[in-house]
Structure 1
Amino acid sequence: MEIILKEDIIGLGFKNDIVNVKAGYGRNYLIPQGKGVIASPSAKKVLAENLKQQARKLAAIKAEAEKKAEALKDVALVIEMKVSANGVTYGSVNAATVAAELQKKGFDIDRKIVTMHDAKKVGDFVATVHFHKEVLVEVPVKVVAENAVPEVEAPKAEETTVEE
């Protein structure tokens, strides 16, 4: 029995897939639960038309995501945190912190689309922003100590030669 799935079913298929299942599974579970419909010729035509329309919408959404990703491509964040003597931060830098820093720089990014392992030490990390399932941007994040004295090279003394 051919069924058009209405939602993702683990081990069977994804939404809008046409799958072959046993008649009892289709009749007694998938169709009554609203998880699928019989793949009749008319249902297949409707599915094909819906997929065409969705493809246009998805292309527009992906183009918008690529535009946002291009704007964020060259951004690097420096986040100041209070740090203990051995370089461990009080608290951690996480996806919400990165989203807040991006917000300060003028990027409207939801914290839910940012993934990052919590940074609990001073150093360099990478946060990934997921604009679309195919459009990802990696943002370098540098965690530094708050009120840290920037390392400045000491002026070099001019070499003098002693003439005898």
Structure 2
Amino acid sequence: MKVILIQEVKGLGKKDAVVEVSEGYARNFLLPKKLAVPATDSNLNTITQQKAAQARREQQQLDEAKMLASQLSKLSVTIPVKTGEGGKLFGSVTGKDVADALAKTHGVEIDRRKVELKDTVKAVGTFTVVIRVHPEITAQIELHVVSAGDR
């Protein structure tokens, strides 16, 4: 008997897979526990439409991420910080600081976990920051760390 898996079943297949199983396994285990539905023409058509809609959504998210990345790559952020002797910072500049500065100066809301600093920023200067906009797309912005008195 052919069935379409509604969710992943260990040892059988992933979600939306069409698999051949024994009739007893399908009737007594998969169907009552709502792990699968019979592979009828209408159910196969529904799964195909859902996959197409999911692909369109993913493509739209990818296009939006590309646009956001191109906008971000044109931006730079300046963060004034308190410094001690020799331009050393009290503490360090974190991804949260960069995300807050982006939101405050440019109105771009970025999750702090998507901001990647290659090294800890503990001195005044210019640094490159990578922002993961999408799992496949990143953008680089310039980070200027200045002493609070130098604004």
Q: Which runs of 5+ in 2 are unaligned?
A: none
Contact 2:128 2:140 in 1 (8 A): no
Give TM-score, length-normalised by structure 1: 0.61
Higher Cα Rg, which structure: 1
1:1-164 equivalence runs, <5 A: 4=5, 6=7, 16=15, 18=17, 32=33, 36-38=35-37, 40-42=39-41, 43-85=43-85, 87-112=87-112, 114-117=114-117, 119-122=120-123, 123=125, 124-130=127-133, 132-148=134-150
Q: CA-to-partner distance for each residue in 1:105-161, whole Å, 9 max, x for gaps?
A: 32321324632247341142423142x333321223232333259xxxxxxxxxxxx
Amino acid at match of 1:127: V
- Distance in 2 of aligned mates of 1:66 and 1:40: 38
- Distance in 1 of aligned mates of 2:96 and 2:150: 23
Segments ≥4 residues shifted beyond 3 Å = 9-14, 19-24, 41-44, 117-120
- Distance in 2 of aligned mates of 1:104 and 1:95: 14
CA gap 1:75/1:51 in 2 versus in 1, 3 angstroms: same
Higher helix share: 2
- Distance in 2 of aligned mates of 1:37 and 1:61: 29
Amino acid at match of 2:82: K
54-63 vs 43-52, which moves further: 54-63
CA gap 1:137/1:89 in 2 versus in 1, 3 angstroms: same
Q: CA-to-partner distance for each residue in 1:53-80, whole Å, 9 max, x for gaps?
A: 2222332232222222222221122222
CA gap 1:120/1:21 in 2 versus in 1, 3 angstroms: farther
> Identity of paired residues, percent?
23
Note the aligned Cα RMSD (angstroms). Answer: 3.9
Give TM-score, length-normalised by structure 2: 0.65
Q: Which runs of 5+ in 1 are unaligned?
A: 150-164
Report the number of matched residues. Answer: 142
- Distance in 2 of aligned mates of 1:11 and 1:97: 46
